[in-house]
Chain A
């Protein structure tokens, strides 16, 4: 693997450097199909230009001769965009956008562990993509809200029709948003936090 000389590494811009008091981080995952606006949403609320981290997976070849270990595995690299919001001098929120298709679920291992919750970003033109995602989140016990990114040419389903199509319980919030707008994306995160708050028990 080539590694650029460390002189050429560009770190955060000076205005993006966190204070030394930044000691606590939390994360939220935004999940949805391609082109649904995950990176747009991350970018609209992030204080830094969205960054990209990569993860590599190997899939052992099935039914392939095992005498050539190298060729029997294929390796895939998947990029994940993320952004950051400094909530206070100490507390930092990271937002990760991850594709919802089943072949990317290997990314979910480290990603959802410890995440506060998730936003399922929905494109009503391609509703089915989110079916598996929602099922998977339910299996993992990750609390989530559903945000409908309002595309101009998308069918406008009433919330109750969507709730029925997605087979979601009454308490799971479903809201419209415009992922391009900071305030709208912020409101989606607020809805998630309020929902998580409602699930939480009071501090004893």
Chain B
């Protein structure tokens, strides 16, 4: 009998990821803010009558901090569409974004300890 065994993969540059679809909304020139799924977003203003309904909804949702992933979920819009909407709101300073803490090349032990401390309380 022989159980299945994983074989180590060989890197194949031809296996690159497929092209992604970006929906460009409004009149952004295609430049997007660097937004992660867990970038936290906070509104800086109440929606004015001139903003798009989607953007007004974002401003209402983000009266308290909310991640880009949560905005996408509550609006039922794909991540790529949400980042496009957020890019415009950032450009007009209607929202503020807080970049996530990312895994650095050398992870920060104090961060991991803070995570463990939080998990202990669950």
Contact = CB atoms under 8 A, between A and B. Distances in A.
- Kindly name the residue among A26, A52, A128, A164 whose own CB sees the greatest number of chain B CB atoms within 10 A: A26
A193 B79 CA distance: 27
Interface of B: 3-9, 11, 17-21, 23, 36-40, 42, 53-54, 56-57, 60-61, 64-67, 69-70, 72-81, 98, 100-103, 106-120, 122
B116 to A, nearest CB: 5
B114 A164 contact: no
Interface in A21-61: 22-27, 45, 51-60
Contacts of B75: 3, 9
A4 B61 CA distance: 14
Please list the 9 inter-chain residue pairs (A to B) with the smallest Cβ-Cβ separation, ordered nearest first: A87-B118, A114-B102, A51-B73, A135-B9, A6-B57, A131-B6, A25-B38, A200-B107, A53-B72
A165 B38 contact: no
A161 B6 CA distance: 12
Given A4-B76, A88-B118, 16 more contacts: A6-B56, A9-B57, A18-B65, A24-B98, A25-B100, A27-B36, A53-B78, A54-B72, A57-B20, A58-B18, A96-B37, A106-B18, A109-B17, A110-B79, A113-B36, A193-B115
Contacts of A131: 4, 6-7
B73 A20 contact: no
B5 A167 contact: yes
Q: How would you classify the secondary structure of chain A's contact residues: helix, strand, loop or mixed? A: mixed
A56 B106 CA distance: 32
Given A136-B9, A186-B122, A200-B106, A54 B37 contact: no
B74 A12 contact: yes
Contact of B113 (A11, A161, A197): A197
A137 B61 CA distance: 34
Interface residues of A, number: 83
B37 A110 contact: yes
B78 A77 contact: yes
Contacts of A87: 114-115, 117-119
Interface string A138-173: 110000000000000000000001001111000000
Contacts of A130: 6
A115 interface: yes
Interface string A1-17: 10111100111100001
A101 interface: no
B119 A190 contact: yes
A138 to B, nearest CB: 8
A165 B69 CA distance: 35
Given A56-B78, A58-B19, A25 B5 contact: no
A127 interface: yes
